[in-house]
Amino acid sequence: MLEVRNLDTYYGNIQALHDISLHVEEGEIITLIGANGAGKSTTLMSISGIVPPRKGEILFQGDPIHELPPNHIVSLGICQVPEGRHIFPDLTVAENLDMGAFLRNDKKQIARDLDYLYDLFPILRKRRHQPGGNLSGGEQQMLAISRALMAHPKLLLLDEPSMGLAPLVTRQIFDIIKKINQEQNTTIFLVEQNANLALKVADRGYVLENGHITLHDRADALLANKDVQKAYLGM
Ligand code: ATP
């Protein structure tokens, strides 16, 4: 579904990504783990066109997307839930979800999707008339994921969904990420600092260190890898 080839990405003169290559197959959950500042968010932003790469190629379903603007990339079916959520705080929960569907005009399917998401996150149904800004951090994360899903993405890019959330809420959100992957057949590219949880939910994983991919394996193999355990799993 997605192929990233030899990507170099810069902020001005600072090179954040060095020769990044990775691939995502349809239906998979892929995770990219790494320390603070390793380049995880930059990788997602390069894919979604927010910080375009200076070198390399990104192919989505066989077609190059690395020179396309972000709105075009969204319309192809790639949606990013950014770190820190970025919901619209003054719009209600329902209005935030409407915004997610603004590129669509299949009204009946939109209504069915909304129902599905309200069943997935009953708290959002309960709070649908409240401003997004009044929700708790976990609820805002649920809203941000749901808003992205309203666009009916083929590939969902999730940037640190566990950021700032209590362990119980984090676990709930990860269970739902797995459910969305299985029930909606949404392919998921998950960036996480909580490597333990991410590797438990993912099929495969990549380890990013200082802008370089240093390891790539099945998620269960990474969980059993002594170096990964020492560096990222606190063992
Ligand atoms: P975190 O887990 O802390 O979010 P990360 O792995 O997502 O980290 P990035 O945010 O992608 O890492 O940052 C990669 C590198 O690029 C870091 O050295 C960071 O300081 C730098 N960087 C990120 N954003 C900018 C920016 N807007 N301008 C300049 N440098 C930046």
Residue nearest to atom 16 of ligand 1 (CA): 16
Q: Which of the four pLDDT bands, split at 50, 70 and 90, describes residue 224?
A: very high
Provide the pLDDT for residue 47: 97
Q: Which of 14, 43, 54, 207 to mutate for ligand 1's pocket (most ligand atoms within 8 Å of CB)? A: 14
> Using CA atoms, how far apart are residues 4 and 42, in angstroms rounded to an integer?
13
Contact 161/171 with Cβ under 8 angstroms? no
CA of 41 to the centre of ligand 1 (A): 7
pLDDT in tens, 86-117: 899 999 999 999 999 988 888 899 999 999 99
For residue 22, list its beta bridge partners: 4
Asked if the model's pLDDT at residue 147 lies above 90, the reply is yes
The answer, yes or no, to whether any atom of ligand 1 lies below 6 A from the CB of 51, is: no
pLDDT in tens, 110-123: 999 999 999 999 99
Q: Which residues fall within 8 angstroms of residue 170, CB to CB, at 6 or more apart?
A: 161, 162, 194, 197
Q: Which of the four pLDDT bands, split at 50, 70 and 90, describes residue 85?
A: confident
Asked if the model's pLDDT at residue 84 lies above 80, the reply is no
Provide the pLDDT for residue 104: 84
Residue nearest to atom 3 of ligand 1 (CA): 36
Q: Which of the four pLDDT bands, split at 50, 70 and 90, describes residue 174?
A: very high
What angle, 0 to 180 degrees and rounded to 10, lies between the N-to-C axes of helices 107-120 and 137-149?
150
Q: Which of the four pLDDT bands, split at 50, 70 and 90, describes residue 233?
A: confident
CA of 128 to the centre of ligand 1 (A): 34
Written in H, E and C, the secondary structure of 37-60 is: CCCHHHHHHHHCCCCCCCEEEEEE
Q: Which residues fall within 8 angstroms of residue 109, CB to CB, at 6 or more apart?
A: 152
User: 2-232: what fold?
Assistant: Rossmann fold (3.40.50)
The answer, yes or no, to whether any atom of ligand 1 lies below 6 A from the CB of 34, is: yes
Provide the pLDDT for residue 163: 86
Residue spans per domain, the chain: 2-232
